[in-house]
Amino acid sequence: MAHDVAADFLADVRAFARTHVEKHTAAWARGEAIDPAVALHAARIGLTRIEIPVASGGMGLSFHTKVEACAIIAAADFGLAMSLVNTHNVAKRIAVTAPEAVARTLVPDLIAGRASACTALTEPSAGSDAAAMRCTARPTECGWILDGEKTWIVNARHARLSIVYAQTGEHSDATGIAAFLVDLTNPCCERYAIESGFSQASIGTGGFRLNQYFAPSEHAILPAGTAFKAILSEINGARIYVAAMCCAMVSAGLRLARTHGETRQSFGKPLDQQPTWREPLARCATQLAAAWALVETAIIATEAGGDARHLAAAAKVNAVSLAQAQLPAMLHAMGAEGLKDTYPFTRHIGAAQIAALTDGSTGMLLDRLARWDPIPVQLRALQG
């Protein structure tokens, strides 16, 4: 039964990507705001409640299903996929961790698509090094006072709610970090949008400053000593679905290039009948198969409750590198035709650069992976 529910859900996600995402991506890339109806439709089919327990209004589906859904949306628009999954993740955290009364108040609007949410970790002086954060939470008699700035946050420009990680003052390292629910519509929150050479509209990138923001005691949802562990677990999951999203973008580019090669004539015959044109597509397909396999292995390890830290990091590094190399190669296979905004190549190439910087930079992950022995099974010939 669960398999049927997941299969039906993913079919709905594919239909949503075709009918509500693909036709708008070019406009979003030019900076046009997303129609709220898109988020409402996404919520109706379940994109905001995939892993949330059924008792809390969710679908109770697997991490694997969430990764697949993210990949389907990312094949059309990486930014929207990131936006939706961030709202989903906040709703899940509140449903699982927050006091029941708080969850009853906040979760319904998130899973119905009436509000978006974000997780605020990165700061101007603390990116991959989360333990260096300077945002503080000072205890008071009935709550906490938060001060500090968060930046480069998905959904920050429009989110109503955020989970903010801050130093409690108990320690100056990771063990002092706690997590708080913050109402971003509060006057004590000053938010701003972040743009770049290509639009950040669909991903909603922005930041905010908290000035003497009061969070009641019941909005401290992860205490110091446990919050940083939760951060690491969630980041591992994010690395896996970002890897899948990169693979999905490359898959979309490969399919488009292959279709183009079947119809485009050059020197009296279709491009796909010319070995020199086919070779880059063959290399792309081979590398893509390996990248998808690594993503699948990381998902299996995560769902089995094993230590997936290195697999998640490797999947992300590999998939990002694949996207950075192969999306331009597939654009080249399309020729100048691929530059038209009816195709996703230029948008996906920009998204690959964003992916390289999310949830741990490639350089940081490579430093970790340099000390990893990735032998998947105990092979006697390889044992020391």
Taking the domains of the chain in order of start, what are their residue ranges? 2-115, 118-225, 228-382
Q: What is the DSSP letter of 123?
A: B
The pLDDT of residue 1: 54
CA angle 32, 36, 38 (to 5 degrees): 90
Give the DSSP H/E element, type plus range, for residue 19. Answer: none
pTM: 0.93
The pLDDT of residue 232: 85
Instruction: Please report, for residues 75, 160, 343, the alpha-carbon distance to residue 18 in angstroms, rounded to integers and kept in the order given.
Output: 10, 28, 13
Pick the closest to residue 81 from 89, 207, 337, 2 (CA basis).
89
Report domain 118-225's class: mainly beta
Token couple for 174: 């990771």
Cβ pair 36, 204 in contact under 8 A:
no
Cβ pair 324, 352 in contact under 8 A:
yes
Write a three-state SS string for 163-200.
Answer: EEEEECCCCCCHHHEEEEEEECCCCCEEEEECCCCCCC
Cβ pair 207, 191 in contact under 8 A:
yes
The pLDDT of residue 171: 62
For domain 2-115, give the CATH superfamily.
Answer: Acyl-CoA dehydrogenase/oxidase, N-terminal domain (1.10.540.10)
Fold of 228-382: Butyryl-CoA Dehydrogenase, subunit A; domain 3 (1.20.140)
End-to-end CA distance of the chain: 46
Per this entry, what is the length of the chain?
A: 384
- The string of pLDDT tens digits covering residues 27-59 is 999 989 899 999 999 999 999 999 999 999 999
State the pLDDT confidence band at 378, using cuts at 50, 70 and 90.
very low
- The string of pLDDT tens digits covering residues 62-88 is 999 999 999 999 999 999 999 999 999
From the number of C-beta atoms within 10 Å of its C-beta (0-12, 13-18, 19+), residue 337 rates as middle
The pLDDT of residue 7: 96
